[in-house]
Chain A
Amino acid sequence: GAGVSQSPRYKVAKRGQDVALRCDPISGHVSLFWYQQALGQGPEFLTYFQNEAQLDKSGLPSDRFFAERPEGSVSTLKIQRTQQEDSAVYLCASMRPGTQTQYFGPGTRLLVL
C-alpha cells in the first residue's frame, strides 16, 4: 500500500476487556515498531520486529501486552484485561532495510472506560 495503515482507528473498551490492534506496514519494510503515545506526550517505544522475529520487547509495560508478526508482514498488538492507564494512541511504524527513516501509521486511539 501507499503507507502504513492501522485498524481500528478508534477503540472503546470496558476495563477488563481484551483488545487487538492491527498494523499493515509498507510492503517490503522488514522492520516494524509499536509505540504508545499518552495524551500530551511523545511516543514511547513498546516493541520491535525484524521480519517475524520480535527482537526487542523491552518497552512493553506489563505481561498484559503481547505483540506478534507471524508472517513478517501484518502485526497485531494485543492488550489483555485492559486498564484505564492503557488509554493512549498506539502507533505503528515500519522501516526499510538500510535506512533510519520510520514511517508511521495514523494510530489507534484506545479509550478504556
Chain B
Amino acid sequence: GNSVTQMEGPVTLSEEAFLTINCTYTATGYPSLFWYVQYPGEGLQLLLKATKADDKGSNKGFEATYRKETTSFHLEKGSVQVSDSAVYFCALSGLDGATNKLIFGTGTLLAVQP
C-alpha cells in the first residue's frame, strides 16, 4: 500500500548546523509530497510541498526535492535556529481520486540547541 517512512528522531543539532531529515515513500501512482511542521503547543502547519517529479519546494530556508527515481523527499536546511525546534512530518496525497487525504510518516523531532 501507500506509505511514508521518515527517519526516527530525536535529531539534536547545534544552532547553525546543517539539517537533513530523510523521507521515502511507497506509492502506486504519482503523489504530491509535503512537509508539515508542528511547533510546541501549536497545530500542524504546511512547511512546503512539491506536486511532481524534480519539483523543489522551499520555505523559511527549508528545501526538499521530489525525487521519483529514489522515491524520496528529504528535508534540508543549511543553518538551523533554535526556533526550528519542532516535530516534522513528511506526507503524501493525491493517490485516491477526489479525496486528497494525507498519508503521514511518524514524525521526526528536531531539537536545536543554542
Listed in ascending order, the chain A residues whose CB lies under 8 Å from chain B are 4, 31, 33, 35, 40-45, 48, 50, 55-56, 59, 91, 93, 95, 100-107
Contact = CB atoms under 8 A, between A and B. Distances in A.
Contacts of A35: 102
Interface of B: 4, 32, 36, 42-46, 49, 51, 89, 91, 93-94, 96, 98-107
Given A41-B106, A101-B49, A95 B100 contact: yes
A48 B98 CA distance: 10
Contacts of A91: 43-44
Given A40-B106, A100-B32, A100-B51, A45 B46 contact: no
B106 A56 contact: no
A60 to B, nearest CB: 12
A66 to B, nearest CB: 18
Contacts of A103: 46
Nearest to A6: B43
Contact of A45 (B36, B89, B101): B101
Top 7 A-B residue pairs of the complex, sorted by shortest distance between their CB atoms: A42-B104, A104-B44, A45-B101, A106-B43, A104-B43, A56-B99, A48-B99
A69 to B, nearest CB: 15
A106 B39 CA distance: 11
